[in-house]
Structures are given as C-alpha cells and as structure tokens.
Amino acid sequence: MLLSSVAERVYWMSRYIERAENTARIILVNHNLLLDLPRNMEFGWEALVTITGSLELFQQHYDEATERNVLRFLVADQSNPNCITCSLGMARENLRTTRAILPRATWETLNDLYAYARDNKTSGMSRRGRYAYMRRIIDYCQLLAGKLSSTMSHDQTYGFIRMGRNMERADMTGRVIDVRASNMLPSLSEDLKPFDDIQWKSVLDSLAGYQMYRRHVHVRIRGRAVLSFLLKDKLFPRTVHYCLAEVEYCLRGLPGNEPSLRILGRAQRLVQEVDVNDILSAGLNSFVDDLEKVHAQLHSQLTATYFAAPEEQAAVPIAATS
C-alpha cells in the first residue's frame, strides 16, 4: 500500500537529488571546458543557466552572466529553487516527511550531504574549492541512489523514486542537447572547426557519457553520432530512450497506468522514429520542444493519477492524449 502523499514526496525527492547532481556535473564540465578553450572564444557561463531552465529568473536578479553570478545562482541563491543547496534542501524536506518509509541510512546520507552543501557553499563557488565541492555533491548523490537501490525493496515506493530520477534525467538530457548542441550546429555540416570536438566531448561529459560513447559508438566524436547516442542508445542509462524505458517499467507495476502509458508511448515513438539528419536540417529546437511538451504532459498525468486526492482526481481532466 502506498499513500498518494508519500508517492508524491519520494518522486520529488528523487527528482531534486538528480537535479542537484546534474547541476554539479554541468558546472564541473564547464569549469574544465573553460580551462581548455582559448581566451577569445565566446563560451561563457550563461548556457548553464539556460540548461537548468532558469534564464528568466536569473535575469531578474543579475545584470550579467559572469562566472561569479552564475555560480552563486546555481549553488546557493535562495531565490533559485533549482540551485544545488535549495534542491538538496527540498529533497531533504521530502525525505524528512517520508522517513518512516525509506531506509534509515538514506536519511543519514542525505542529511549529511545537505549539511555539507550548505556549510561549504562559499568554497564551492570559488575556483579553487569548486572541483572538490562538485565532486562530493555528485558522489553523494550517487551514493544515495545506490543506497536506495540496494537497501530498499523494489516496491511501488521505489518505483516512484525511480520514475522521479528518470523523468529528471530525460529532462536534463533533452535540455543539454538543446542548449549545448544548438550552439554548435552551424559547424556540423562543415569540417569540424577546431575545438568543436572538445565541445562535443563536454556535451557527453555533462551527461557522464563520454567513456561509454567511446566504447560503444566506434566513431570519433561527431555531432550526429553524439546526438543519436544521447537520444536513442538503449544501454546507456542517461539517454532519453533509456530513461523513458525505465519510466515505462515502473508504470507497468502501478494501478491505473493506462493514460500515463499512452503519453509515454508518444514520447517513445518521438525518439525512436526521428531521424537525426532530419533534426539537423529542420532545427533541433522544434524537436526538443516537442519532446519537452510530451514530457511535461506525462508529468501532469502522473500527478493527476497518483498524487492528487481522490475527489480531485475526477475533477482533473485527463491530459490531451492525441
């Protein structure tokens, strides 16, 4: 038996943990990338804010996307609910209210992680302390995922944790592709400009996928192959295809899953049937927009079916499925 309120909280807990990890990862990758790129190359920090989907909010609070401002905004700015410390704080609140259900050791770890992230944020924003800070955030988030996976029954509650993680991952992969790749698209048809390959590598790094790409896609790094890998690969756990398959697996174990499965099916077809060459010619943005739209619909459907109180369930219209 699983309370609707609990399902909702563990789903969000999981999303927030994943969000914190992803944010730390893109900061780390950007940090490394900047050290490699020549000084005059325009590749700043604003892209990171765009990837987290908070550009508008950022511009309300800051005049310029300097390294300092972006780092503050992504690590510790209380006005940004998606910043690392806020995400972990929200994850912690959600876990605090579901502590009776999740393994005790996960609470200890998350509590620890939150305290670390909060107490060391200044160091995390500095150039010198950044690597250690982000590394620790990433490691602890992974530790949490591991503890959840290996010390709790893979029941429906776990299913919601898993769905939350994969919904967030798919979202992130979509946005990394959107922001990162579209910056580079003009050069795709021409010979690789110098440094394009390290940028594509950084796209893969942002999703921890470089090494696996090299092992499984026997092509040197090229935009087309990278895009295809990140969207369609069946084995790497951060590709859109893989994440959606995970969500499907979890949904199959839940009651009342038909409307959600229908929307999920549309998302899956979108990814499977698209030709990367077409995306490149027709524009990446419209494809990613479609993907984001159906992704948002799926999230609303999950909320309506599983999280809303029963009397409200009837009142919420089933999200458009056509």
Partner 1 sequence: MSIQWKDYSSDGSYDELITASGNSRVAARGVVRYIKSLSDQDMRERRDAAELAMQVMGITFTVYSEGEEGGIDRTWPFDIIPRIISAREWKRIDAGLKQRTQALNLFIADIYGEKKIVRDHVFPHDVLAKSVNYREQCAGIRPALDVWAHICGSDLVRDSDGTMYVLEDNLRVPSGVSYMLENRLVMKRVFPELFENYSILPVDGYPTRLFDMLASLSPRPADYPTVVVLSPGIYNSAYFEHSYLAQQMGVELVIGSDLVVTEDDCVYLRTIGGLERVDVIYRRIDDLYLDPEAFLPDSVIGVPGLMRAWRKGNVAIANAPGAGVADDKVVYAFVPAMIRYYLDEEPILPNVPTYLCMYAAQRERVLANMDKLVVKPANESGGYGMMIGPAASKKVRQKFAELICKDPRNYIAQPALSLSTAPTLCDGHVEPRHLDLRPFILSGESRHVTRGGLTRVALKKGSLVVNSSQGGGSKDTWIVETGDK
According to CB under 8 A, which one of 59, 64, 104, 249 is a site residue for partner 1?
104
Asked whether position 306 contacts partner 1 by CB under 8 A, the answer is: yes
Asked whether position 62 contacts partner 1 by CB under 8 A, the answer is: no
User: For residues 6-28, b (16+ Cβ closer than 10 Å) or e, as one string?
Assistant: bbbbbbbbbbbbbbbbbbbbbbb
Asked whether position 5 contacts partner 1 by CB under 8 A, the answer is: yes
Evaluate whether 80 touches 58 at the Cβ level (below 8 Å): yes
Decide whether 11 or 210 has the Cβ nearer to partner 1.
11
Count the site residues for partner 1 by CB under 8 A: 30
According to CB under 8 A, which one of 43, 107, 131, 195 is a site residue for partner 1?
107
Scan residues 164-193 and list those touching partner 1 (CB under 8 A): none
User: DSSP label at 293?
Assistant: H
Pick the piece of the chain touching partner 1 (CB under 8 A) from 64-72, 131-139, 248-256, 282-290: 248-256
Asked whether position 309 contacts partner 1 by CB under 8 A, the answer is: yes
Asked whether position 316 contacts partner 1 by CB under 8 A, the answer is: no
State the nearest-atom distance from the C-beta of 51 to partner 1, in Å.
26
109-116: long-range contacts, CB 8 A cutoff, minimum separation 24: 109/140, 109/143, 109/144, 109/147, 110/17, 110/144, 112/140, 113/88, 113/137, 113/140, 113/141, 113/144, 114/85, 114/88, 114/89, 116/140
Evaluate whether 243 touches 271 at the Cβ level (below 8 Å): no
DSSP element (H, E) containing 146: helix 127-151
State the nearest-atom distance from the C-beta of 200 to partner 1, in Å.
40
Decide whether 112 or 289 has the Cβ nearer to partner 1.
112
**In the block, which residue shows the tokens 């027709």?**
282
Asked whether position 235 contacts partner 1 by CB under 8 A, the answer is: no
User: For residues 87-107, b (16+ Cβ closer than 10 Å) or e, as one string?
Assistant: bbbbbbebbeebeeebeeebb
Asked whether position 300 contacts partner 1 by CB under 8 A, the answer is: no
Query: Interface with partner 1 by CB under 8 A: which residues?
Result: 1-7, 78, 89, 93, 96-101, 104, 107-108, 111-112, 115, 156, 254-256, 305-306, 309-310
